[in-house]
């Protein structure tokens, strides 16, 4: 608290705009909080490098291969131009040989998708060769 005769700076934070006392400009609490909010970057799970997961599958036998346990949001699947891939979801701990209905069946690379592999599940992929990436949601 700075006392200036009968004027006190306590409570000036509630005044909107810039307040000038004896030539010193003081920002109100509202404008200070706006400046802090504007300077604070927003990080989401899909842009947080610590949440990134990626891998590579290569198998000439075309058996379903384990990719990753959920939770995961699969965003990219990249394959050679002559490739194809089928993605399955199985219960966590289940073998990929107990395949379920495919959630993705493609003959080309896919980018920018958001396929969710829920917690308690795992992703299996049948392909000759592919790289994949995604992120773990918050």
Q: Output the pLDDT for position 3.
A: 43
Neighbouring residues of 106: CB distance < 8 A, sequence distance ≥ 6: 77, 84, 85, 86
State whether 7 and 71 are in the same domain.
no
- Report how many domains make up the chain: 2
- Residue range 82-109: mean pLDDT, rounded: 85
State whether 60 and 102 are in the same domain.
yes
User: What phi and psi values does residue 15 have, to the nearest 5 degrees?
Assistant: -80, 130
Per residue in 2-45, pLDDT (tens digit) is 444 443 334 434 444 444 444 554 455 455 555 555 677 788 88
User: Rounded to an integer, what distance in angstroms lies between the CA atom of residue 79 and that of residue 106?
Assistant: 10
CATH classification at residue 85: 2.60.120
Sole residue written with tokens 């990929």:
96
Q: Output the pLDDT for position 95.
A: 86
Per residue in 45-76, pLDDT (tens digit) is 888 889 999 999 888 778 888 888 999 999 99
Please, is 77 exposed, middle or buried when counting C-beta atoms within 10 Å of its C-beta (0-12, 13-18, 19+)?
buried
Q: What tokens were used for 99?
A: 């395949």
User: Rounded to an integer, what distance in angstroms lies between the CA atom of residue 49 and that of residue 135?
Assistant: 9
State whether 56 and 75 are in the same domain.
yes
State whether 54 and 86 are in the same domain.
yes
State whether 77 and 105 are in the same domain.
yes
- The pTM (predicted TM-score) of the whole model is 0.64
User: Rounded to an integer, what distance in angstroms lies between the CA atom of residue 60 and that of residue 124?
Assistant: 15
Domain with 76, as residue range(s), is 49-135
Q: pLDDT tier at 79 (50, 70, 90 boundaries)?
A: confident
Domain membership of residue 44 (yes or no) is: no
State whether 130 and 69 are in the same domain.
yes
């Amino acid at each position: 608290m700075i006392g200036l005769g009968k004027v006190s700076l306590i409570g000036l934070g509630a005044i909107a705009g810039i307040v000038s006392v004896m030539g010193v400009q003081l920002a109100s609490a509202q404008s200070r909080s706006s400046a802090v909010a504007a300077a604070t970057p927003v990080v989401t799970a899909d842009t947080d490098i610590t949440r990134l997961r990626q891998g590579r599958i290569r198998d000439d036998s075309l058996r379903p291969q384990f990719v990753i346990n959920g939770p995961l949001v699969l965003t990219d699947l990249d394959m050679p131009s002559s490739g194809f891939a089928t993605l399955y979801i199985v219960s966590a701990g289940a073998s990929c040989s107990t395949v379920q209905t495919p959630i993705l069946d493609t003959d080309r690379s896919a980018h920018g998708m958001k396929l969710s592999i829920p917690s308690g599940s795992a992703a299996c992929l049948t392909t000759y060769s592919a790289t994949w990436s995604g992120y773990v949601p918050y």
